[in-house]
Amino acid sequence: MKKTDGTSAIYVTQPVLPPLEEFMPYLEKIWANKILTNSGPFHQELEQALCDYLGVKHLCLFANATIALITALQSLRIHGEVITTPYSFVATAHSLLWNGIKPVFVDIDPETFNLDASKIEAAITPETSAIMPVHCYGRPCDVDRIQKIADNYGLKLIYDAAHAFGVQYRGESLLNFGDLAILSFHATKVFNTFEGGAIVCPDAKTKQHIDHLKNFGFVDEVTVVAPGINGKMSEFNAALGLLQLKGIDAVLDERRHIANLYRSKLSGVKGIICVPDIADTKPNNSYFPILVEADFAMSRDELFQKLRQHQIYARRYFYPLISDFPMYRGLASAAHSNLPVAREIASKVICLPIYPGLNEAELDTITALITQS
Ligand SMILES: *Cc1c(COP(=O)(O)O)cnc(C)c1O
């Protein structure tokens, strides 16, 4: 895409925006009925529409995924220690600190880049109350094995599913696994409401409790049942979500097309691995990670810088690891020796630009820079 200064830069993602004129009727409705927030008509409509589209039973909309993660932990009264991954966006672990919970980092699996289920049990202590894995890049965790560990040890299981909008695993929504799953509708995500998020929950009672928590704990005008927070999504964002949902299948189709082009154009390039999809999964192609191996012509960071010099702003998701940030690196579980696989993947990964509107000429520019290194 052309920037206003006349140069063309390509970013790792571009937000999807529906035609502005199609949004106007929604705004006119909001202006006419003057319901701006607090579970208004668009909010209710979007919750139902998302349940239908995603194939989940209940869902609570939020202002963003971070407040949804924080509230999810509150709703299950999680405390003490929670086992989580260092290979994610920093909000995953921050949501634990905001609840006074100690994150315990466990290494990732070299195939899925998600929590290594075989290493979870060794990290469980009497203080452990939950596991919080991430479906990184929307690629499913080893959900059966992690659920079995949670059941055996009486732990809650909360998935950070911020990347997993629309992902199907073994013929059903990936969001149906675990006690709760959290989605992000941030501008950079596959489905966006500018800012937004949701908690997917299994039953109406849980949904009601979470709905109370996100609205200060109010049950009615005079009854407050919990020290809730303000996590509500506004009518503006909910209306936008309804409009975005109309275009989501086209968005997912275009992402799949771009991913396929990358795979074919980068196949056989020595030292470049396109991370494969996981079996039995209908992916959402929310990211396009490649690994730059030692036998590639240059280092990962040299390739990253070369792309930048050509105004291709790829990203090293997820480098640095969460466990390397100052508020985490003092934890025993943040030790380098505890997280060898995460460190290795973080040192090799580049996420290439992928978004609807990235055209084949731009994609050719990107892949040529890689193949001609
Ligand atoms: C984007 C993201 C979040 C935070 O989402 P917000 O809606 O921006 O608060 C949390 N976890 C992961 C893995 C993310 O990618």
CATH number where 317 lies: 3.90.1150.10
* Pair 186, 51 in one domain: yes
Q: What is the pLDDT of residues 2-56, one digit of tens each?
A: 444 445 899 999 999 999 999 999 999 999 999 999 999 999 999 999 999 999 9
* Pair 30, 123 in one domain: yes
2: in domain:
no
With 0-12 CB in 10 A as exposed, 13-18 as middle and 19+ as buried, what is 197?
A: buried
84 lines ligand 1 (CB under 6 A): no
* Pair 274, 225 in one domain: no
* Pair 178, 242 in one domain: yes
d(CA 163, CA 88): 10
* Pair 166, 38 in one domain: yes
Is the model's pLDDT at 149 over the cut of 80?
Answer: yes
Taking the model in full, what pTM does it have?
0.97
Q: What is the pLDDT of residues 248-257, one digit of tens each?
A: 999 999 999 9
Asked whether 353 and 10 are in contact (CB, 8 A), the reply is yes
Ligand 1 atom closest to Cα of residue 92: 11
* Pair 241, 98 in one domain: yes
8: in domain:
no
Overall number of domains in the chain: 2
Ligand 1 atom closest to Cα of residue 69: 10
Is the model's pLDDT at 266 over the cut of 70?
Answer: yes
4: in domain:
no
3: in domain:
no
Q: Which of 246, 270, 299 is the last residue of a domain?
A: 246
286 lines ligand 1 (CB under 6 A): no
Asked whether 63 and 231 are in contact (CB, 8 A), the reply is yes
Helix (H) or strand (E) holding 289: strand 288-292
Domain containing 199 equals 20-106+113-246
Ligand 1 atom closest to Cα of residue 195: 7
> Which are the contacts of 356, defined by CB distance < 8 A and separation ≥ 6?
14, 16, 250, 251, 254, 255
SS3 (DSSP) at 284: coil
- CATH number of the domain to which 238 belongs: 3.40.640.10
Q: What is the pLDDT of residues 276-333, one digit of tens each?
A: 999 999 999 999 999 999 999 999 999 999 999 999 999 999 999 999 999 999 999 9
Q: How far is CA 155 from the centre of its chain?
A: 22
* Pair 229, 266 in one domain: no
* Pair 58, 153 in one domain: yes
Q: Which of 190, 223, 246 is the last residue of a domain?
A: 246
d(CA 206, CA 268): 49
Q: Which of 178, 211, 246 is the last residue of a domain?
A: 246
Cα angle, residue 21 at apex, residues 16 and 25 outer, rounded to 5°? 110
Distance 249 CA to ligand 1 centre (A): 22
Q: How many CB atoms are closer than 10 A to CB 52? A: 10
Orientation angle between helical segments 204-213 and 65-75, nearest 10 degrees = 120
313: in domain:
yes
